Structure 1
């Protein structure tokens, strides 16, 4: 069956959205993770990725008109799969269409034509998305000097933002393939970014100035899980999100231990010339963040941990097992409900996005192996307390009092200089359930 592409909810108050541009034409092949289209809100322009690989067909979402959140805007068919869905474009407002003088039926067009994202405009040598071109032009950057991370070397918005924002909002162009140490000094050997999986998949979610905020997601999630937090208010700092190994667009490997993951995070930060920085980690990502901070290789100036793993042995093993095994909405949703205190936060787009990952059996297989290694028999097999005790930087720990994955009581007994925030009526995801408070804390730490 074809994979449904829906208009996602990128803002908690969003009921409808407008597609500002399509980056892929009807009938074009796409890979999972390719940018399909862009949604513009009054707060940000968001690029939406393909949930599966295949051929984009039955595009019904037109540019510039209101579309309800969760509405299908296209379908992705597997190679060779028969197209059996009727093509019916979303109707544009009557004021936008000139009245036809004839009365003959007119076949609905599948989409408003837009310049394909992977094709450079005539006379502009580099391949780039339209938004990347605009951002580069505004910043005075040459697209030819930017290494593209998109399909066939296409320069995407995140590529441009990585140069504009890293490490502290600089706007001068620099070669993106010259790794630097956290102190900003060039590394002993400037070479192209590693392609062996050492550098993790990443995206600059915000431009800005000042201390960069680096985000590490939890088990089974990806970097996009941080987007709702950033909709809680204005963010003036550059924000970089990474996909952990075996998650999102990073390599599908099972790391040997926390140090192995920390080394990949460090390599990514060095390759992007990021530092000094505020490091933020949720759940399993919190344990990774603690390891990175304690190793002293990356220039971490402050550490924020949200429901971090590694403070005690207990974890909800049934959740881990059920989550990685679920392949349908009926089997997935009961486990997702354990993540939050208020089930209404589990929006349809959130469920659909998680379900799309569940359909990737290879991805979930790798994650099952990661769970077996780090949470064997429903037990956290690592301890970050000693690492936290040895830190000499500001550290804040945030938990939900109603966390049903990792008990908030595990945060008790931490060193007195570590600030602890426990939110009432909150589950395992304070960054979603208490996003305004969490964002305020993170911005305070970044500005300190």
Structure 2
């Protein structure tokens, strides 16, 4: 039996409420395959590719480029040739009328704070299941929203927490001497404050180094590690990016800096740039970033000691690196101990959890399931 299938605005993470259709990569009359790139969608955090959820013939593009629409809004229609244009018209009209009559204002989950020995820590909790929870630890200059494409997916399988490290987001701007141990103590204190005995840790960049050190210092508290382009595995680091992130306050100049993060510059949205500028205006934010730069990021790592941390771990460890990473050299993943699984993602920059979210989410689910 012939059917008409709607393609709607996806929901990438529970915090996403709307998206903007930036560019279509397909045209009406084209037969598409499941997983094929349909269009680019901009969210408040980053632009990303929306892949076809099914195969079939694309009969109608409903959303024009530049249109900002709520989650669930009609973007396109798939149907075979047995369905005439009048039936397509009727379907679109009925869908739009019903969608307009429904309330789509779902309250986004809100982060909360906890007081720890390291100071105030802001975090977002999603999901409530048995078993070890997942704790997401962001990189330099990030915050909990950096996991918007991942936390909601993981929350279907585990209790999840995405936190703001000291010096970032809504957490304390007191980073002490800016050393790695200061951040490690903050994560351990966060776990203590919420009575989390054992957790899976997912860390990105600077957060990857933090997660590894948490596991090295308290291996009984870490069920597994998934490290995305972790810092501290080699001497090469993009100092121009770090300095530019701290110093640049003009949108045009800051865009040039942030474009180092991704392979496709158009993924850096205006909203993302404005969020960074807004964050750096917070009292103490720039000073905290400078301390982390001098106390950790620009301190030459002891690579042999870091490899020894990996070798000593009994829990599963997986390192993921984008082949086009311009912040931390992909070559840092070479020569890791045999107990570390390594995945290289071709055509990906420094943000694999955003640039290739589906693949990273699959790895997170496997980590949870053991």
TM-score w.r.t. length of structure 1: 0.56
Matches within 5 A, 1:46-57: none
Distance in 1 separating the partners of 2:121 and 2:244? 27
In structure 1, the residue matched to 2:165 is 244
In structure 1, the residue matched to 2:139 is 218
- Pair 1:205-2:210 in alignment: no
Distance in 1 separating the partners of 2:329 and 2:302? 16
Shift of 1:157: 5.3
CA gap of 1:195–1:434, structure 2 versus 1, over 3 A, is closer
Q: For each residue in 1:138-178, what CA deviation from the matched residue of structure 2 results, as whole angstroms up to 9, or x when unmatched?
A: xxxxxxxxxxxxxxxxxx8556xx9xxxxxxxxxxxxxxxx
Distance in 2 separating the partners of 1:158 and 1:318? 32
Distance in 2 separating the partners of 1:12 and 1:349? 14
Q: For each residue in 1:202-256, what CA deviation from the matched residue of structure 2 results, as whole angstroms up to 9, or x when unmatched?
A: 2213444433110100001111111123466873211101111111122112344
In structure 1, the residue matched to 2:356 is 434
In structure 2, the residue matched to 1:264 is 186
- Tell me the matched-pair count: 281
CA gap of 1:334–1:309, structure 2 versus 1, over 3 A, is same
In structure 2, the residue matched to 1:368 is 290
Is the CA contact (8 Å cut-off) linking 1:313 and 1:381 kept in structure 2?
A: yes
Distance in 2 separating the partners of 1:381 and 1:430? 23
Distance in 2 separating the partners of 1:305 and 1:406? 13
The one of 8, 11, 20 equivalent to 1:15 is 20
Q: Secondary structure at the match of 2:231?
A: coil
Distance in 1 separating the partners of 2:174 and 2:69? 34
Matches within 5 A, 1:281-292: 281-292=203-214
Q: For each residue in 1:365-390, what CA deviation from the matched residue of structure 2 results, as whole angstroms up to 9, or x when unmatched?
A: 210121122133xx544542221121
In structure 2, the residue matched to 1:104 is none
Higher strand proportion? 2
In structure 2, the residue matched to 1:311 is 233
Is the CA contact (8 Å cut-off) linking 1:315 and 1:380 kept in structure 2?
A: no
RMSD after superposition: 3.3
In structure 1, the residue matched to 2:311 is 389
CA gap of 1:406–1:231, structure 2 versus 1, over 3 A, is same
Shift of 1:352: 2.2
CA gap of 1:222–1:293, structure 2 versus 1, over 3 A, is same
In structure 2, the residue matched to 1:227 is 148
Distance in 1 separating the partners of 2:270 and 2:115? 37
Is the CA contact (8 Å cut-off) linking 1:158 and 1:205 kept in structure 2?
A: no
- Pair 1:339-2:261 in alignment: yes
- Pair 1:273-2:278 in alignment: no
Shift of 1:196: 5.0
Q: Secondary structure at the match of 2:276?
A: helix
In structure 2, the residue matched to 1:403 is 325
Shift of 1:12: 10
Higher helix proportion? 2
CA gap of 1:195–1:236, structure 2 versus 1, over 3 A, is closer
In structure 1, the residue matched to 2:32 is none
Shift of 1:267: 1.3
Shift of 1:318: 0.9
| Structure 1 unmatched runs, 5+ | 1-7, 17-47, 49-66, 71-92, 98-129, 133-155, 163-192
CA gap of 1:195–1:293, structure 2 versus 1, over 3 A, is closer
CA gap of 1:323–1:200, structure 2 versus 1, over 3 A, is same
The one of 327, 342, 367 equivalent to 1:445 is 367
Is the CA contact (8 Å cut-off) linking 2:115 and 2:121 kept in structure 1?
A: no
Distance in 1 separating the partners of 2:205 and 2:110? 28
CA gap of 1:233–1:214, structure 2 versus 1, over 3 A, is closer
